[in-house]
Every structure is written in C-alpha cells, then in structure tokens.
Structure 1
C-alpha cells in the first residue's frame, strides 16, 4: 500500500490540495482522529506559535484536541512582522511530539500559512516620562537648585501585554548621557534600548564681576549672583560678607565655586602669633611666627621666637596658637 508520506508527495506533484488527499487517504484505510483547519492568515501574540493559536482543532478525544492545540510549531516573528508555516512543518512537529500525525487531517486555505505577530507601540512620550520620573526620584540636587532634563528616545514596537519600563542605571548620571532602558512585557524582559539624556543642574551662584588675580581677595563688590547650568551640582560661598580669595586667575563671569576660591586665612605666613601652653594651673605665653596659613580651628606651624623651635598648634582668635604639652 502507498504510504501517506508518499501519497502526499504524489498529490503535491499533481497539484491536488492536501485536504482532498487526506480524504483519499481515508479511503485507503487511514483513520481520521482529528481535523486541523488553517486560515490563509493567522495572528499570534508572544514569541512561540502554538497550533491552537493559528488553527481550529476538531477531535472526538478532548485530550488529543488539547495536545494538538498546545503543540509548539515554531518561533513567532518579531512584533509587527510575519513568518510562513507549511503544512509539512506542522506534520513534522506532530511526529516529533509523538502525535498520531497520520490520523490528523489538515485543511489549509493556503500553504504556507502567513503567521503575523501582533504588536503594540510604546510611545515616545511614555518612554521619556519613565526616564524623567526616575531622575526626579533618584537625582539629588542642592537646596534651591533645579534638575533640568531633555530626553530623546524613539518609539518601540513590542509584543502585546502589560509593559514596564525600567531605567538600568545604579545611580543617576548627569551631563550628556546614554541611559539604558529595560522594556519588560508581561513580566519578562523583552529588549533594551538607549535614551539620549541631557541632565543638568540649574543653580544660583556667585560669579566674578571682574577679572581677579590669583591670591586677590573677593568681596561683595567683586561678584554678582547669577543662575547657571552645571553638569554636576557645585558648592561655593553662600555669603561674601566673609571675603574669599582666588586660588588662580579668574575671568569675569566665572562661577565662584570652591574649585576657584577659598576662604581668606585668619593668619598668614610670617604673621606674629602668641604661643600658649597650659600645664596644670600654669600658663606660658611666648611670641611666635606663623610658618603656614590657616583659619581659626586649623592646626598651623609656628616658630617659637624665644627658643627657635618649630611647633604645631591650634589657631584661636586674636592670633593665639594653643600648643599641647606632654
């Protein structure tokens, strides 16, 4: 007797539809346990194609019908794209799954069948909003400063299902950065894309109102308040009522941050100071000369002008340097 597979080849060569061939096979004594009816075009969701997603399955045995419906017949195309499945591929998958393939009649309007993967569009606005929310929640800016964001990302195609957009950074990055976004669909990671982000801090600072030489003192008359954009938060003097001095040459309009200015020392190298040491109830005072600069509370280097020894002490008000005695 001619086998079903040989019969299929003969029918294909003769241009006879497989459904008619299956009916002819029944006349040769092959029992029909199930019928699979394929449309010309089918739509699926997800990344796996099951027979029940693309065909109507009819079978007297409900267990056989369920096995046929759950049969994985191939991988789905990317969202919005399509792939073709032939009747021969379906029969191969049945044999691989140890299903009674010879007893299954397949009726196809067209061979191969076009299988299109459904998709959803994740809008640009949705992606940009996710980045903005994340930055506002995690980026720390100084009091009175404001975070400024510009986010650019293309809309994305994704499988159908609930969507989560996660920023794949451990901490916010400022400046011009590429921010990776993890797109999760139906609880499973789907793809990663990059958003172009310009993240800057708008902050009010003191700026030089004139060119300032290195070491020159800067007071309220030498600076003005201005709002500037920075790639990172900056720190500087809050009030110039206590003057600062330039650590280097400063151009007009330069923000006066602690990178370019420093507090004016309370004592300068060469200044006369008073060394004070206390032992029990005895207090000893001798004149000294500062060998280093410092502010009140700093440890400074001083030469004892009486003995010539170099000692270290803590600077206090009125040029007093407290020296510990062991």
Structure 2
C-alpha cells in the first residue's frame, strides 16, 4: 500500500511539474490556456503501449494548437496488450484513475457516464452514429416527395471497428416507410467481410398534402372531384392514403369532413350497380340483339348478375362485359 501511494504521488507530481513547465513564462502554453478544460470521450481507441491524454480527451473552449499539442502527449496508464478488446470504465472509476495520474488537475476534466476504450482500430461515438443515421435516412426520404422529419434516434453508445482500414456501413433490410424504422450497422473489412453488427432505430415522419373529404361522405357514395379537398398529414399515422389517381371510386365506408381519404375508405365502382339501366346483349349464331334492362344487383367485369328485361319483365342471368353492359349467350 505504501509503494502504491508513493507511485501515485510520483505520477501526480510528474504531471504537476509538466504543467508548471507548460504554464510558466517562456513555456509553450499561452496565457489563455490557464483555464483549460478537457472533455473525456465516451469512446476512444489507443495505439499503446501507454495511453496518451490526447487519445481519450479533447479540449473545450479556447486552446491554441501548441498548448493542446503539449497536453495531448502526456502519458497516463498502460494500454491493454490485446488489440480489439474493449474495456468499459464507469465515471466513478474514471475519476479515481485520472486523480491517480493527474492529481488535482483531474478536476479540469469533464467525464462521461462511462468510457469504452479499445486498443487499435477506430471508434465511432454515439453522437457520430446518430449523425450518420440521420443523414442516411434523410437522403432516402427525399424520394418520398414529402417533408421528412427524423426523431427519436436510438443508437449504440459507440461502435468500434477492429482495424483502421475497416469501415462502418449503414443499410436497411426493408424498403423505407414512414414510422418506426430500423437501420443495420455493420463493420466491413476492405475485402467485404462483416466483422461486427449492430442496430439503430428512428421514427420517420413524412408530412405531405393528400386528398381529403371536402364534405361528409357516406358509404356507397360516388367520389367525384367536387367532394375532394386537400389536407396536410403525417404519413407515419396515415400509411395508406389515396394518391388521387385511378377510379372511378365510391366510398367503402363513411368519412368525416377534412379527414384524409385512404385506400381503406374507397373501392372501385362496379361495372354494373343495382337499379341501373344497362344494355342487355343477346348474342347467338344468327342473332345479335341489344335491349334495355334493370340491374338487380351489382357486379364487376367477368361476374354474373341478374337483370330484368324492361320490355318483357323477364329476369335472366348474364355476364358483365363492360360498364353497364351485360351479355346473355
């Protein structure tokens, strides 16, 4: 215990003497650096064999290059001799370690909740991961022709690459859609091998102006241009909105005024509707006759429907061959 205390005192004294030299008149540190502070990174990589202050911290506020160059070279503890191994240190432990190596100067350090350190490779911090995810999603959201808004981004606290030559690749397994999305994070070697995987998530809002009901619309009511207005909605909560094309349409269910029209609210008009007057076509080898009839049901092209001959009042079954056209062979 006595030797440990002695070593601690010696290391702190060496650091203190170093700072005295740097801050003394004629030293390399400017007067503006007397109030220096350092932000300790939450994720860092070290080259070894000894951890340098510049590998695990960065200056806060004003500090000239000469000052930081001197501080960054200050030696701290021995680095792990196992490349690629990640060691996670809590804030309490960090405070103890820096006090051991830096003495009272440790009060100038701003400590994260924890720090992960790897020997060799590269570290991608949580804020950088978040920035990469936002940029990745923003670029892809432009194809959705709306105003993109990305929120609630959740990423790992850090992502370590085993080698300086490895790269971080972002991808998606599914097509991008509004709402909760998942982004795959992969550490890729130069020859394309996946060495590490993780996942980030985010919520994608897409604001867009879409067709809406200009008035209350009832079930089975035909949808015409005068019954449609437009409103701005978030597609994350209205994923199946009608794009205003196709048709003719009718209401599949009732809809209130100002509400967006979705594909669940509308359906294609049948070629024949109940009560409509249709052309009843008799077609045989030697006869081709068209008369008027009343549709007793509704049907689409290719389906059968009962119709009543308006002249004979006779009911027959025919096949719908077109809009308001029923054929009997």
TM-score after normalising by structure 2: 0.51
Q: Give the structure with higher Rg (CA).
A: 1
Distance between the aligned counterparts of 2:132 and 2:149, measured in 1?
15
Query: Which of residues 184, 187, 203 is equivalent to 1:180?
Result: 184
Structure 1 residue 267: Cα displacement: 3.8
Does the C-alpha gap of structure 1 residues 216 and 313 become closer, same or farther in structure 2, counting only changes over 3 Å? closer
Deviations along 1:263-308, one digit per CA (max 9) or x if unpaired, are 455642132322113345631224433233357x564513353553
Q: How many residues align?
A: 219
Distance between the aligned counterparts of 2:210 and 2:302, measured in 1?
27
Does the C-alpha gap of structure 1 residues 146 and 282 become closer, same or farther in structure 2, counting only changes over 3 Å? farther
Query: Which of residues 277, 302, 314 is equivalent to 2:321?
Result: 314
Distance between the aligned counterparts of 2:285 and 2:140, measured in 1?
55
Q: Is the 8 A contact 2:231 2:258 kept in 1?
A: no
Q: Is the 8 A contact 2:82 2:119 kept in 1?
A: no
Q: Is the 8 A contact 1:206 1:223 kept in 2?
A: yes
- Does residue 226 (structure 1) correspond to residue 231 (structure 2)? The answer is yes
Structure 1 residue 140: Cα displacement: 9.6
Partner of 2:9: none
Q: Is the 8 A contact 1:214 1:246 kept in 2?
A: yes
TM-score after normalising by structure 1: 0.52
Structure 1 residue 130: Cα displacement: 4.6
SS in 1 for 2:262: coil
Does the C-alpha gap of structure 1 residues 224 and 308 become closer, same or farther in structure 2, counting only changes over 3 Å? closer
Distance between the aligned counterparts of 1:139 and 1:322, measured in 2?
49
Structure 1 residue 139: Cα displacement: 7.1
Distance between the aligned counterparts of 2:252 and 2:271, measured in 1?
16
Deviations along 1:74-101, one digit per CA (max 9) or x if unpaired, are 844624669xxxxxxxxxxxxxxxxxxx
Q: Please show how residues 125-136 of structure 1 align to structure 2 within 5 Å.
A: 126-128=128-130, 130-131=132-133, 135=137
Does the C-alpha gap of structure 1 residues 155 and 126 become closer, same or farther in structure 2, counting only changes over 3 Å? same
Q: Please show how residues 259-270 of structure 1 align to structure 2 within 5 Å.
A: 259-265=264-270, 267-270=272-275
Q: Structure 1: 5+ residue runs without aligned partners? A: 1-40, 45-73, 83-114
Partner of 1:18: none
Query: Which of residues 199, 204, 208 is equivalent to 1:203?
Result: 208
Q: Please show how residues 1-326 of structure 1 align to structure 2 within 5 Å.
A: 42=49, 75-76=82-83, 78-79=85-86, 117-118=119-120, 120-124=122-126, 126-128=128-130, 130-131=132-133, 135=137, 144-145=145-146, 148-150=149-151, 151-158=153-160, 159-167=162-170, 169-174=172-177, 175-184=179-188, 189-231=194-236, 234-236=240-242, 238=244, 244-265=249-270, 267-279=272-284, 282-294=287-299, 299=303, 301-305=305-309, 306=312, 307-316=314-323, 319-323=324-328, 325=329
Q: Is the 8 A contact 1:315 1:321 kept in 2?
A: yes
Structure 1 residue 182: Cα displacement: 1.6
Distance between the aligned counterparts of 2:202 and 2:149, measured in 1?
10
Q: Is the 8 A contact 2:305 2:318 kept in 1?
A: yes
